[in-house]
Amino acid sequence: MARIAFLIPNLAGGGAERVALTLVGALADRGHEVDLLVMEAVGELAGQVPAGVKLVDLHVKRTRKVLWPLIRYLRKRRPDALQVSMWPLTTVGILATRLARSGTRCVVSDHAVLSDHYARSKHAFLGASVRLFYPLANARVGVSSGAVEDLARLARLDPSMFTVIPNPISFPRKLQRRADVEAMWGDCKSRILTVGQLKPEKDQALLIRAVARLPQSLGAKLMIVGEGNLRDELLALARQEGVEDRLILPGYAADVWPFYASADLFTLSSREESFANVLVEALYAGLPIVSTATIGAASVLDDGKWGRIVPKGDVEALATALAEQLSRKPDAAERRARALELSGCASIDRYEELLLGGASG
């Protein structure tokens, strides 16, 4: 078995961090010795590091200060492989493995459409750094073909240099309802769920406006599971739109599956998504889905085969799709099979191959 290290910025409750925890847990279960390195051991997921995984806090706040602590770690522990997530931390990881001369393989992965995720003013620096450093990695991973093509275009690299691996997700054997979650919905007729941090790129404001346009006869409530800086702004918007009593904000949830089990429909209103783990989770839960048109939605939903896709920012189209999809009862078994096809054990297998040198990126 191998010694494998993972490096992420922190333990915030975002998609990339959840993917890292899924991977380290799965690889530890397979008998590998796994270290999880973080710049700072803070965030909503701090208590969810899997058993058998060693958490290493580098105690640095800025990416540019990671280099020497990481080099010292590599020289001391000499892992067989290092997996680094999220630019620009990826470039630091590549440089550290070169300078440490520890014989460590370096695999980097990005979990966002970087041209959307960063301001246009940063695109030149982003592209130049990726063009300079990424060819020095042993493998490069993108979560969808669209995300890979976007990054390759920015960096003027050949997309074939990258390996597309959908995000692995830890699925429960059985979805179970939970009494406290059921009680949050009250006596509404229709339950609309979304999951995500309360931040601008998720555009939950669009979703609130769309719910305000739904017919009263639907008796719909919207639950947004997640936390973030926009909580007060979203509550104010709900009051302005007259749907404050139809909006539920339970905050961050360590276990989101009871929320999926409680819902009638899942929706995602993002301005950008490279893969959208939550859409895969919604498929596994057997829910009808409405999503805005992002690279992630196109990939997961197969351009609309597995859910309705509407233009970004179009409140009327979103409201219409929500109303129509609430009456749908899709085949839950087919949707679960689609979720497992996308993000089951095969994704973990492919990461393991790259990390151990059994495949090239």
DSSP 225-266: E---TTHHHHHHHHHHHT-GGGEEEEE--S--HHHHHH-SEE
Question: How many angstroms separate the most distant Cα atoms in the chain?
Answer: 66
At a CB cut-off of 8 Å and minimum separation 6, what does 217 contact? none
Please state, in angstroms and rounded to a whole number, the distance separating the CA atoms of residues 147 and 112. 7
Which pLDDT does position 358 carry in this prediction? 64
Report the share of the chain in percent with pLDDT over 90.
93
Architecture of domain 3-168+344-356: 3-Layer(aba) Sandwich (3.40)
For 195-235, what is each residue's pLDDT tens digit?
A: 999 999 999 999 999 999 999 999 999 999 999 999 999 99
Backbone angles phi, psi at 33, to 5 degrees: -90, 115
CB atoms within 10 A of CB 237: 18
For 346-361, what is each residue's pLDDT tens digit?
A: 999 999 999 999 643 4
Q: Give the dihedral sign, CA 133/136/140/146.
A: positive
Helix, strand or coil for residue 330?
Answer: coil
CATH number of 179-342: 3.40.50.2000
Task: Enter the pTM of the model.
Answer: 0.90
Domain with CATH 3.40.50.2000 in the chain: 3-168+344-356, 179-342
Which pLDDT does position 360 carry in this prediction? 39
Q: How far is CA 52 from the centre of its chain?
A: 23
* pLDDT band, residue 122 (cuts 50/70/90): very high
For 150-175, what is each residue's pLDDT tens digit?
A: 999 999 999 999 999 999 999 999 99
Which pLDDT does position 226 carry in this prediction? 95
Which pLDDT does position 30 carry in this prediction? 96
Average pLDDT, the chain: 95
**Mean of pLDDT values over 255-282:** 96
CB 23 within 8 A of CB 6: yes
At a CB cut-off of 8 Å and minimum separation 6, what does 153 contact? 115
Which pLDDT does position 361 carry in this prediction? 41
Tell me which DSSP letter residue 60 carries.
Answer: -
Which pLDDT does position 68 carry in this prediction? 97
Please state, in angstroms and rounded to a whole number, the distance separating the CA atoms of residues 221 and 186. 9
